[in-house]
């Protein structure tokens, strides 16, 4: 993020943000077979059957959806969008299978490698091959996804039996049924997160998207802990039928997520506005204000991520769709009136309120099945000490 803003400015960052937003939309279609459905059914069906459908679907969606996009509007860097769509989906299938097998070590490793390998490819392509245009960014990302897919595939496929590879109508239908339901919710939540990009581009231009995207990127960085906890919780829930234990694990994850999110928001807001200008460039003077306006929504989503994965883990998906619809409807209706007048600040306000509204529904639904306690959101002294000891032990290693 720091590199792209300094290398290509707010306009280049805006172009990257729009292409990545398109890639994410395509990813939601791919994730019908390569997302949570892979994780959910990893312990229920043969790996050979699951990956067969995941790989075929990745290629079909990764090619045809970008081409369809190009037929209805101008799509920059279409060739990279296709290659990124296919490779990122194939890699996602492998990573989600690791989660389904409760191999969190490999999940964490490949999550980190996606950033590290991308940086290495950027260095090679821009400073050795001298490709200094924005396309160099997408070339590096394509190389990153490609090499990580082949490595993860090797780690998985060496244990598979060719004789077990077969088409199964039951596997296909159940994966599709679960996948489209959970992806509908995820897609609506994505619209909740990214519709403001398209409204900003239409009303205020691509540069405003680049400036706003930095604040959004900080939001998603802060959500890293919440999402990691959510994925670990999800892996436990799909492999454990004890409902009471699942609720207790959810509350523990809520406490950790609430505490860590508050700490990260406070740290980010304590940094002076000049710091962001120094790091990202003169175009990004509004970054601190953007993060401040987004912070209530950042905290709300950090909490609702945990509860949302609880409902996904126990296969109660309707509530996820409902909460996402509420957020999207509010975002669309309010953006037409607020963003044309208030620009980036308006986009922040709309997004933050939308996050809070959609999250409130999840909180209400979760506490219908369990008692509400304020302690659910505050780590006890004993829990804090356990968490601190674990972090120190990892650091010493």
Dump pLDDT digits (tens) for 200-217: 888 888 788 778 888 888
Is residue 38 within 8 A of residue 96, CB to CB? The reply is: yes
Contacts of 117 (CB under 8 A, 6+ apart): 143, 144, 147, 148
Q: Which of 61-75, 318-332, 344-358 has the highest mean pLDDT?
A: 344-358
pLDDT in tens, 21-36: 888 888 888 888 887 7
Tokens read off for 214: 């930095």
| Residue 289 clears pLDDT 70, i.e. is over it | yes
Q: How far, in Å, are 214, 298, 324 from residue 290 at the CA level?
A: 9, 12, 23
Distance CA 212, CA 221 (A): 15
Of the chain, the percentage scoring pLDDT greater than 70 comes to 91
Only one residue has tokens 């986009």, namely: 347
Q: How far apart are CA 209 and CA 76, in angstroms?
A: 16
pLDDT greater than 80 at residue 10: no
d(CA 72, CA 75): 9
pLDDT, mean over the chain: 81
> Which band of pLDDT confidence, cut at 50, 70 and 90, is reported for residue 324?
confident
DSSP assigned state of 271: S
In contact, 153 and 288? CB cutoff 8 Å: no
CA distances (Å), origin 395, targets 109, 158, 270, 389: 17, 33, 25, 10
Residue whose C-alpha is closest to residue 229's, from 114, 116, 307, 320: 307
Domain ranges of the chain: 1-167, 182-381
Q: How far apart are CA 265 and CA 268, in angstroms?
A: 5
- Residue pLDDT, tens place only, 131-175: 888 888 889 999 999 999 999 989 888 777 776 677 777 878 888
Distance of CA 362 to the CA centre of its chain: 19
Q: How far is Cα 18 from Cα 202, in angstroms, rounded to an integer?
A: 12
Q: Are 342 and 290 in contact (CB under 8 A)?
A: no
CA atoms within a 13 Å half-sphere pointing along the CA-CB vector of 153:
16
Question: Is the model's pLDDT at 308 over the cut of 70?
Answer: yes
Specify the pTM.
Answer: 0.66
- In 195-219, which positions are buried (b, 16+ CB within 10 angstroms) versus exposed (e)? bbbebbbebbebbbbbbbbbbbbbb
Dihedral, 276, 277, 281, 285 alpha carbons, nearest 10: 100
Dihedral sign from CA coordinates of 106, 182, 28, 296: negative
pLDDT at 251: 82
How many Å apart are CA 32 and CA 333, to the nearest integer? 28
Query: What span, in angstroms and rounded, lies between the C-alpha atoms of 95 and 259?
Result: 28
**What pLDDT, on a 0 to 100 scale, did the predictor assign at position 389?**
59
Over 50: is that where the pLDDT of 299 sits? yes
Does residue 232 surpass a pLDDT of 80?
A: no
CA distance 48 to 45: 9
pLDDT score recorded for residue 388: 59
What does the buried/exposed string (b/e) look like for 72-85 if buried means 16 or more CB atoms within 10 Å of the residue's CB? eeebebeebbbbbb
Model confidence at 241: pLDDT above 70? no
Measured CA to CA, the distance from residue 316 to residue 276 in angstroms comes to 42
Reported as a single tens digit per residue, the pLDDT across 80-93 is: 889 999 999 999 88
396 has pLDDT over 60: no
Query: Of 355 and 383, which is predicted with more confidence?
Result: 355
Q: What is the pLDDT of residue 394?
A: 47
């Amino acid at each position: 993020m720091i590199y792209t803003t300094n290398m290509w400015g707010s306009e280049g960052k805006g172009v990257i943000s729009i292409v990545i937003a398109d890639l994410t939309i395509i990813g939601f279609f791919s994730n019908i077979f390569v997302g949570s459905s892979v994780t959910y059914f990893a312990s229920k069906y043969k790996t050979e059957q699951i990956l067969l459908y995941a790989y075929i679907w990745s290629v079909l969606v990764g090619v045809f959806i970008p081409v369809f996009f190009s037929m209805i509007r101008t799509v920059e860097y279409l060739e990279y969008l296709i290659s990124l769509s296919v490779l990122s989906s194939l890699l996602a299938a492998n990573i989600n299978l690791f989660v389904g097998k409760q191999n969190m070590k490999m999940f964490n490793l490949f999550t980190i490698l996606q950033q590290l390998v991308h940086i290495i490819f950027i260095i090679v392509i821009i400073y050795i091959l001298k490709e200094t245009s924005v396309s160099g960014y997408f070339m590096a990302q394509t190389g990153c996804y490609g090499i990580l897919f082949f490595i993860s595939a090797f780690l998985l496929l060496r244990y598979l039996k060719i004789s077990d590879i077969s088409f199964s109508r039951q596997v296909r239908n159940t994966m599709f049924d679960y996948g489209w339901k959970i992806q509908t919710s995820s897609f609506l939540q994505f619209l909740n997160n990214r519709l403001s990009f398209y409204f900003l581009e239409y009303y205020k231009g691509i540069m405003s998207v680049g400036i706003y995207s930095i604040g959004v990127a900080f939001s998603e960085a802060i959500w890293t802990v919440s999402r990691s906890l959510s994925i670990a919780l999800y892996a436990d829930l799909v492999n454990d039928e004890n409902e009471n234990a699942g609720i207790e694990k959810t509350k523990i994850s809520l406490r950790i997520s609430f505490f860590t999110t508050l700490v990260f928001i406070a740290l980010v807001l304590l940094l002076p506005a000049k710091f962001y200008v120094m790091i990202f460039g003169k175009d990004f003077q509004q970054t601190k204000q953007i993060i401040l306006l987004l912070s209530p929504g950042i905290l709300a989503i950090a909490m609702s991520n945990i509860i949302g994965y609880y409902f996904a883990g126990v296969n109660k998906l309707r509530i996820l769709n409902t909460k996402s619809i509420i957020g999207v409807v509010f975002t669309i209706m309010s953006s037409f009136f607020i963003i044309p007048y208030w620009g980036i600040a308006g986009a922040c306000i709309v997004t933050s309120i939308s996050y809070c509204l959609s999250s409130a529904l999840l909180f209400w639904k979760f506490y219908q099945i369990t008692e509400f306690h304020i302690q659910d959101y505050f780590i006890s002294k004993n829990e804090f000490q356990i968490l601190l000891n674990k972090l120190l032990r990892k650091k010493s290693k």
